[in-house]
Structure 1
Amino acid sequence: MDATFYIEKTVFNYRVAAVMIVDNHVLIHKQTKDEHWAMPGGRVELLEDSLSSVVREVKEELGIDVKVDRLLWFTENFFDYNNKNYHEIGLYYQVSPLNGSFNFHNEEFFGEEGERLVYQWVPINNLEKIKLYPEFIRTSLNQLPDAPQHLIVHKYSN
């Protein structure tokens, strides 16, 4: 069971995200019905640690075995989505493939879970032009932090 709780029009969400970089491109994804993009990942399950969760999510979504290199950001993210107020705890981990390299595509593609999510490798210097949430990602990938950063991210509306 996911570590997500619904209380009236408010949602508490515990999420992990994988930061995958190849040749100054980063992998992003979105639900096919959405206009905004995010980092690949998903919800942590109850009684699951975040490291195991990000490895599981990448395997489920992309069929790739990864190792966690390091924690980049710990976020407290407050936003509106589908007429609900979200309070999300997010951990963003830099990951690398266990065997070989990431499968780099120039075009959008679907992952292991079918057509629900679409993925795209995007040049990091083009992220400013993309509707990517949380917004700090668009500029923070230009220079990754030396040590984990704690960020409080304020609301946006979709």
Structure 2
Amino acid sequence: MRTAQSQQKSFTDRQHRPLEFATGDHVNLKVSPMKGAVCFGAMGKLAPWFIGPFEITGCVGVVPYRLTLLLHLSGIHNVFNIFMLQKCRSDVVPVIDWEPLKVHEDAFYIEQLVRILNRKEQVIRIKVIHLVKVHWGHHNVDEAS
């Protein structure tokens, strides 16, 4: 029994790396996806494991850190355990330019057709399927479907 415990401890000691963050560092926050709940933009298998990056504003103790959260996450307490944080991999925090969407009160918006890029007919046995590649508004041409 002691041999097994010592082997497990030595394995844990090799795998363990000390985490430490300073004020001003950028980290990603680990979120646990819930089945059937849309918490952070996606649901089920496509739910994100980490969201962020967020800036650390201070250390509350040895383990908890205080983060600067976005406005839509204002209902969440801003102090997190060190094990829920992951160091942000990039040196530069990505800045995303986006046009504001016209979002209705029901939290949906209407996609608008910009242009039709390609038309094609696919024959499967005796059926003919018409395929149309469409460029939608608020998306790049690469994201056409």
Q: Fold conserved (TM > 0.5)?
A: no
Give the TM-score normalised by structure 1. 0.25
* Larger Rg belongs to: 2
Q: Which has the higher contact order (CA 8 A, sep 6+)?
A: 1
The structure that is strand-richer by fraction is 1
